[in-house]
Structure 1
C-alpha cells in the first residue's frame, strides 16, 4: 500500500513546482457546425462582442476587425511556389522521393469567380524560438497489456502532474518535452482514481526511452519550400507532437477528453437526448500544416454522454426495446464505469456484462453465485440474500444485476448500489429521436459558433484572454488570438435545362420545379403498380379512400412532369413483421407488380430494412417508401419530391447541365465504404463498398455495384470487379469513356498512400482489361473529405445566405490549404440549418492536366446534378450516391449490423443471406435512390 498523497508521484516531481495562473475555460455553448438545415437567428440582445446585426438575416462575424486581411506574405509565398514549379523546380507528377509518396503538385490557384474575404476557424501558431526542438520519448508501463485504456490514461495523467519543466503526453505511449529528460531509471507511479474513489493500492513502473527530436525550424522551412525537405512520416509525427502540446492545457484542467482531439466541459449545459443520454457541446482542435505556417483548427463539437447518477434511473430512461431488449441494454451499459455506494470506501468498477438467466434479465432474487466466505462454509446464495446478510440491506426486487468482474470470475452488484460516473461518452449509434435532438443541439447559426470558438474555445485552449503559463507558451508556441482571414471566390452558378426547352438559373443553390417537365421521363413506364400499407396494428391501416386519393394525386403529379403511370393499382395491407412483409412481396412479384408505393407506420429502421432487402434482392420490385402524414401526403411539394425519385428509379433523367465545364465522353465514378459500429454489430461484421458511375453524357442515371468486404477494411477489395461492372453499364460500348474522374469518399489523410497503391492499381488493371486494344482513358483520382472541422464565415451580409453562411459556389484554395499539394475547399450548397460544412477535395492522381479553375468549376457544376433534389448538394453526386447505396446495403445485413451482443457468434459469409448486388431486374437501375 502506497502512502503517496492522492494523485501519486508526478514525473520528476520536486518541491519547486511550476505553477502558472489558471485560466480554466468557462462552460461551453457552441454547436457542432456542419448541419444541413437552417439555423435560427438569435435575438440581437443575446449577441456578444465582435458581432454586428445587419438585418435581414443572421448577424455576421466581424473577427478582430470589420474587414478580414489575409496575409500578404503567405499569398506571395504561394505564388512563388507555383512559379518555381512552372520553372521546373517543383514536383510535376506523382512520384516517389526517397520512398516517400508525394501527391501531385498544385498546378495553379483558381482565378474564376467573384473575389471574397472570409474568416476561417484557424489560428496561426507562432514559433517563439526558431531553434525549438520538441523531444519525443516512448513511455512503457510494466504490465500494460493487462490494463484498461482508462487505467493507462490515468497513470499518464499522474505521471505528468506538476513537472518541473514542460511535459505533454498522448496518454497512451508518448511524452513530449522541449527539455532533455533524465533517463536514470524507472519512474514509480502510485495509482489513484481522479476523484479519490477506490484504494491507492497499486504502484506502477514506467520506463522512458528517447525516440526522436523534431526541429520546428526545419519544419517551417519545409512549409516554405517548393519541394518537400522534411521526411513525410516524421513530419506527420511532428504534427502529432504539436497536437499533444496544444491538448496539454485542456487535458490538465478538468475538461473531459474524448479521443485525442475533443474536449468537453462536463459541468456545462447539457441537453437531454432521451434513452439515458445527454448531449454536450465542446471543442475540437487539430494542428494543420499550410503554406509557410502552422495553423490551429478549432471548432465547436457535440457529443453524447451517459446520464450521470443513479444506475437504476439510467436503466429506466433507456426504455429497453423489444425483442432483443436484454442484449440491447447490455450493449448500452457495457464498459460503463460506476461508483459503489454500499461500501464505507466507494470503489470505481466497470460493468462487463449483465446477469442473465436463459436470455432474460436476472434480478437480485434469482441471480446466484458461490459465496466462498459464507458463515459455515462456502455455499450458493442469491444477490438479495448476500446483501441482506452482509449489509443488512433489503434490495428492490425488480432491478437488474450487473457483473463488474469477468465471465469466469463474476462480481455481481444490484443496480441500486451503483452511481454512474459523470463524463462518460456514449459510442453506440444514436436512435432517430436522439439524432434529432443532437442535431437540434448542434445546428446553430454560424455567427454563434464562431463567437464560441473565438471566446470559450480559445480560453479552453489556454490562449486567451492571456496566454496561460501552463499552456502552449511554455513550449515556446503562441497561437494567435484572432481568427484567420483568407481569400475566397464565388463561382458563377450553372444553367439547368429541363424538358420542353425549360431552363433555370438558380441564384442561391435551389430552384422551383413548378411548370417544369423532366428532361427525359422514364423510357419504360411500369405496367403494374401497387400500394402497400405496412401497419403495426389494424387500427392504423389506411382505408380504401386514403389509398385511392393518394395514388390519384401521385399519378396526376407524375403526368405533370411527363411520366406515364397506370390509373389502376393493386392494394396490399400487411403487418410489420418480416415474415408477413416477405410473403406479401412474393405475392406482389407473382402478380407482376413492378413498382410499389409503400406507406410505413413510422420511421422504423428495422421495418424499412426488411422491406428493402426482400424487394431489392429477392423480388426485384422497385419500392418508394412514404412516411404516412395524415392529410399531408398529397401536398404538391411532397409529390414533386416523390416524382423525382420515381423517374430516377425507372431510368429517367430529371435535368441536365449543358456546358463545356462538363466534358463529354467522361465517366464520373463515386466510391465509398461503410463500416459496422463497434457496439451494435456482431463480431467480424463486414464493411460494405459501393461504386456508382454515370452511363452516358446525360449524367442522369447512376447505377451501382455493392459488395461486402473484410471487417472495417477501408480499401475497396473488389474494386477491379465493381468498376468493370460500371464500365459494362456504359451505354455506348463501341466508344468507352475517354476520361475517368474518380471521387473517393471517406478516406483519411493517413490512407492516401494506400488508396494510390491499391485502389488506383485496381482501377488501372480494370481499364487495361476492358480497353484491350483501345486507347486507355485518362484517370483523375480525387478524395472527397466530409469529416473535417474547417468552417468558413462571410465577412459581409452581401456574401451571406439567409442563415448567415457563405453562399453556394464559395471556393477556397489559398491561406489554409495544403502546402504544395492540389486541394481546395468548396461550399456548393445552401446551409439550411447550422453552419455549412465545406467539402474538401484533394487530388491524388491526375492524367487529365486539370487546372484549379477547370476542376473547381467541374466539381461545382456536378453538385447541381443530384437527381432527387431541386437544390445543389454539399458533395459531388458520384460520392453522394455511393454513400447512399452503401447505406441501402446496410439494410440487407440488418441483423449482423444491429443485433450484436457479448458472446454473439462472428459473422460467417458462408451463412449470410446477402453478399453482393441486387435482383437482376434492378441491377441497371438507381434502385437505391
Structure 2
C-alpha cells in the first residue's frame, strides 16, 4: 500500500539521547501457539442474554473446572479467540457446558442458566512467525497481527483478573481522587509493539479511569453527581434526563436478601418507580411499592422517585439499589470533571517515568504464569533511543523583521507588526455579561484591545458597544441590521462578551454567525483578566479570522516548500461519544492556498456514525483545488495531506481510499484548469501522512545539558525533538516529532506515518528551475515549521494543520445534547441530525472563521 520506500532516517539537527517508555521484550522459548476460534455460547435457558463481561468469566471458570485439559492455562481475548501454548488434548473440537450460577451454593438452582461453549481449533502460529512479528515485511500481515494480539492478551490477563480494566488499560485503587461521587483511579496502559531491527517492545504508560465506587447507595451517588441536596429533585425533568444518562449501563445490586450478590445492568430509568404497576404471578395488578412491601417486607420512602429498570421489565426503587463492584464509568464527562481529570493525570516527566518503572508489581510481568509459560521476558529498564533536535524556524513579521526564535516552541509578539494585518472597517462589541461587566469596564477593555490592534498594524475605527441582557439571537439580529454584510464588502466582526460559564450561549452564537448570518464572531469570557497580554492573544485570533496573517515560519524547509505551488490538506473525522450511535460523525477538511501555508479554507460534512473514512473525500478535495486555483491562477503541483485520528489497524483501508480519492479529484478536475488527460502520478507530487496524537509513547531527557532554560523547568524534551530510530515501526515509514514546548505534565509527541510519497518529485522543478528536494529531512523540517503557523498562539502546536471539528455541533440547528429531548423519551436519529445540519454561510467560506 505505502509507496514511501525512500523515507526512513533524517540527518538534520543536533544529535541527543532520550529515554522512552518502551521496554524490550524477548521470546525465550521456541513455541507454537494453537488458536481456537468460533467460541459460540449456546444458551439453554430461554430469554437469556450474555453480558459483555461474562465470556471472560465463563472461560476462567471452564479452565478452573477442567484444569487437567487446560494445562498450562490458555489466554482468552474476552470475545471469541482462545490461545494455548500447547496443543490441547481434546483434539480439533470440543464442547463444554457451564452453569452460570454454579459458583454460589446458596443461590436457588431451580432454573440455572447453562451455557454451552464450543472450541474449534483453526490455526497454529508457529515459532518462526512469533519471532518475526517485528520483521519489515510483517506489517499488516494478518497472522503477525494475530500473534501481536495474543501477546497483548497474555500480558493483560494477570492484572485484569484483579483490577477493573478496559481493552488495553487496568486501574488500581493505590492512587485515587474523589469528585462528585465518582473516583479517579490511576492505572497502566500496556501494548506490545514491533520495533526496528525485528525486535519487540512493550509500551507501558500511566493511564487514568473514572470509576463508579463499589457498593455505594445509588440514591446518594446520584445526588452527589448531580449536586442535589433533596432527593425529590431527582424527579425534576432536567435532573431526570441527566440521571438517565448517568445510570444507563451501570451494574447495580439490589440490597435485599433474595437479590444480594446478583449484579444487574441498568437498561433505563422510569418516572415514579414505586407507582409503576405490573401483574404478579397470581394475576393481580399491583404497584412496585406494594410488591416490595408484600414480598420483601420493606416500605419505600420515595415512591415518586425514578425507578431502575433492568432486563426487559423488572423495576426496582432506586433507594434499594447499590452499585456493584468498582466499575469504569463510560458515559460522557462534564467539562468541570474533564478539567479535574486533566489535573489528576498531569505528571512531570520524571514522576511519570518513575511511576511506570515502579509499577512492575501491578503489571506482574515477572510472576504471571501466562507470561512465563509463553517464554516472554520483559526488561524493567526503559529503552534509550537516538534522537535529534531540529532548529526552530524564524518567525517572520512585516518587512524584514524576523524573530529567529532561539527559544524553541515559543516567541513574543510584543513590539511586532503582523506580517499581513487585517483591516477592521466595521466591528461591534456585544455584551451578554449583564451586571458582571459595567459600561466603564467594557469601554476600558475595548480601548486596550483597540490600542493593541493598532500596535499590531490592524486598522480599526473603534466599535459600537451594545449591552444586551436578552435573547442571544434576537440581540445579534439587531446588531446585524446596524451592520449589514453587503456582497463584495469586507466582513463585519462581532466581539461578544459572555459570562464566565456560558457554553449554551457560545454554541448559539457560533451557529448564528457561522451558518445563519455569515458574521465573524469572537467570544470572550468576562471572568478572565482583560489585560494587555490577553488583548494581544485576542488580537492574534481577530487578525486571523479577518483574513490577516500574523506571522510566517521561515527556514530552508519552508523556502523549499514555497519553490513549488503546494497545497497542504488537513483531514479529520470526529465521532460521537461512547454508546451514542445516532449522532453522525463529522468529516472535516482544511486546505491551504498561500505560499506560506498559513491561510486555509475548510469544508465540514456529516457522515454515518463511526465511519473513519472521509466518505466524500473526492468532492471535498475538488472544492479545495478550485479554491487554490481561484486564489493562485494555477493548480498545485504538490499536495501534502496530513490525516489525523487513524489507528494503525485502519491505515490500509483509510489510506488507500483517501489517497485514491485525491488522485480521482486531480484526474477529474485538472482538465478544467487547462491540463488535458492528467496523470496524477506524473503531474502532482502527493505525500500522505497520518498524524496520531492518541498514543502512549513518551520520551524523557537523559542529559539536562540538552535542554534550554524553559525545558529544564518542565523537564520535558525540547521542542523540535525527532525520533526515527530504535523504537519506530519496522514496516512503516514513521517518526515521532515533539513540536511543542512542555508547560505542564509530560509532553506527547505526534506520531507521523508516511503512507504515500510518490516518485514524481524527482521530475519536478521549482520556480527557479532547480530540482525539487523533498526527502525525509525536508518533510520533518516542514512539519515542524508548520506547527509554528497556528494563528491563535505564540507557541508551536502539536500538529501541522488546523482542525475545525471542535465547532462541529454549531452547524446543527436545535443541537440536542446528552440530557435533552425534554418531555420526550425519543432518541434523535441520524436522519434527525443530518436534516438539521447547516453548512458554512457563503460569506465565510473563504475565512478562517473557526479560529
Q: Is this contact kept in 2: 1:261–1:286, CA < 8 A? A: yes
Q: Is this contact kept in 1: 2:720–2:740, CA < 8 A? A: yes
Residue in 2 aligned with 1:326? 240
2:453 aligns with one of 547, 555, 558: 558
Counterpart-to-counterpart distance in 2, 1:489 and 1:323: 58
Q: Is this contact kept in 2: 1:166–1:475, CA < 8 A? A: no
1:766 aligns with one of 650, 653, 665: 665
| 1:897 Cα deviation after fit | 5.2
1:590 aligns with one of 481, 486, 491: 481
| 1:137 Cα deviation after fit | 0.8
* 1:20-31 alignment, distance < 5 Å: none
| 1:106 Cα deviation after fit | 5.1
Counterpart-to-counterpart distance in 2, 1:230 and 1:555: 56
Residue in 2 aligned with 1:678? 578
Residue in 1 aligned with 2:839? 917
Q: Against the structure 1 CA distance between its residues 504 and 230, is the aligned structure 2 distance closer, same or farther, given a 3 Å change threshold?
A: closer
List gaps (5 residues or longer) in structure 1: 1-100
Counterpart-to-counterpart distance in 2, 1:737 and 1:250: 53
Residue in 2 aligned with 1:429? 332
2:183 aligns with one of 278, 282, 286: 278
Counterpart-to-counterpart distance in 1, 2:370 and 2:42: 30
| 1:353 Cα deviation after fit | 4.3
Deviates most, 897-906 or 417-426: 897-906
Residue in 2 aligned with 1:19? none
User: Does 2:49 correspond to 1:146?
Assistant: yes
DSSP 3-state at the match of 1:324: helix
DSSP 3-state at the match of 2:327: coil
Q: Is this contact kept in 2: 1:705–1:722, CA < 8 A? A: yes
DSSP 3-state at the match of 2:686: strand
Residue in 1 aligned with 2:358? 455
* 1:389-400 alignment, distance < 5 Å: 389-397=294-302, 400=305
Counterpart-to-counterpart distance in 2, 1:340 and 1:237: 41
Q: Against the structure 1 CA distance between its residues 468 and 910, is the aligned structure 2 distance closer, same or farther, given a 3 Å change threshold?
A: closer
| 1:656 Cα deviation after fit | 0.9
* 1:901-916 alignment, distance < 5 Å: 904-909=826-831, 912=834, 914-915=836-837
Counterpart-to-counterpart distance in 1, 2:509 and 2:238: 20
| 1:379 Cα deviation after fit | 3.1
Q: Is this contact kept in 1: 2:175–2:185, CA < 8 A? A: yes
| 1:425 Cα deviation after fit | 1.1
Counterpart-to-counterpart distance in 2, 1:899 and 1:512: 43
* 1:433-444 alignment, distance < 5 Å: 433-444=336-347
Residue in 1 aligned with 2:163? 255
Q: Deviations over 1:250-308 (max 9, x none)?
A: 123x12111x211112x33321232x322111001111111221111111001111233
DSSP 3-state at the match of 1:157: helix
Counterpart-to-counterpart distance in 2, 1:345 and 1:897: 35
Counterpart-to-counterpart distance in 1, 2:836 and 2:20: 45
Q: Is this contact kept in 2: 1:178–1:475, CA < 8 A? A: yes
Residue in 2 aligned with 1:832? 743
How many equivalent residue pairs? 789
2:410 aligns with one of 488, 499, 510: 510
Report the TM-score when normalising by structure 2.
0.88
Residue in 2 aligned with 1:238? 147
| 1:195 Cα deviation after fit | 9.4
List gaps (5 residues or longer) in structure 2: 228-233, 485-491, 763-773
Q: Against the structure 1 CA distance between its residues 338 and 199, is the aligned structure 2 distance closer, same or farther, given a 3 Å change threshold?
A: farther
Counterpart-to-counterpart distance in 2, 1:193 and 1:270: 35
| 1:248 Cα deviation after fit | 1.9
Q: Is this contact kept in 1: 2:133–2:194, CA < 8 A? A: no
DSSP 3-state at the match of 1:223: coil
CA RMSD in angstroms, aligned pairs only = 2.5
Residue in 2 aligned with 1:854? 778
Residue in 1 aligned with 2:768? none
Residue in 2 aligned with 1:653? 549
Q: Against the structure 1 CA distance between its residues 222 and 788, is the aligned structure 2 distance closer, same or farther, given a 3 Å change threshold?
A: closer
Q: Against the structure 1 CA distance between its residues 341 and 222, is the aligned structure 2 distance closer, same or farther, given a 3 Å change threshold?
A: closer
Residue in 1 aligned with 2:129? 218
DSSP 3-state at the match of 1:211: strand
Counterpart-to-counterpart distance in 1, 2:107 and 2:481: 67
Deviates most, 805-814 or 157-166: 157-166
Counterpart-to-counterpart distance in 2, 1:658 and 1:900: 49
Residue in 2 aligned with 1:530? 428
Counterpart-to-counterpart distance in 1, 2:650 and 2:454: 48
DSSP 3-state at the match of 2:316: strand
Counterpart-to-counterpart distance in 1, 2:595 and 2:297: 80
Q: Is this contact kept in 2: 1:509–1:828, CA < 8 A? A: yes
User: Does 2:209 correspond to 1:303?
Assistant: yes
Counterpart-to-counterpart distance in 2, 1:439 and 1:609: 23
Counterpart-to-counterpart distance in 2, 1:816 and 1:698: 33
Counterpart-to-counterpart distance in 2, 1:418 and 1:196: 23
Counterpart-to-counterpart distance in 2, 1:592 and 1:811: 49
Between the two structures, name the one with larger relative contact order (CA 8 Å, sep ≥ 6): 1
Residue in 2 aligned with 1:206? 117
| 1:332 Cα deviation after fit | 1.0
User: Does 2:653 correspond to 1:750?
Assistant: no
Q: Deviations over 1:471-495 (max 9, x none)?
A: 4111111111211111111111111
Deviates most, 586-595 or 642-651: 586-595
Q: Against the structure 1 CA distance between its residues 868 and 230, is the aligned structure 2 distance closer, same or farther, given a 3 Å change threshold?
A: closer
| 1:165 Cα deviation after fit | 0.7
User: Does 2:459 correspond to 1:567?
Assistant: no
User: Does 2:533 correspond to 1:619?
Assistant: no
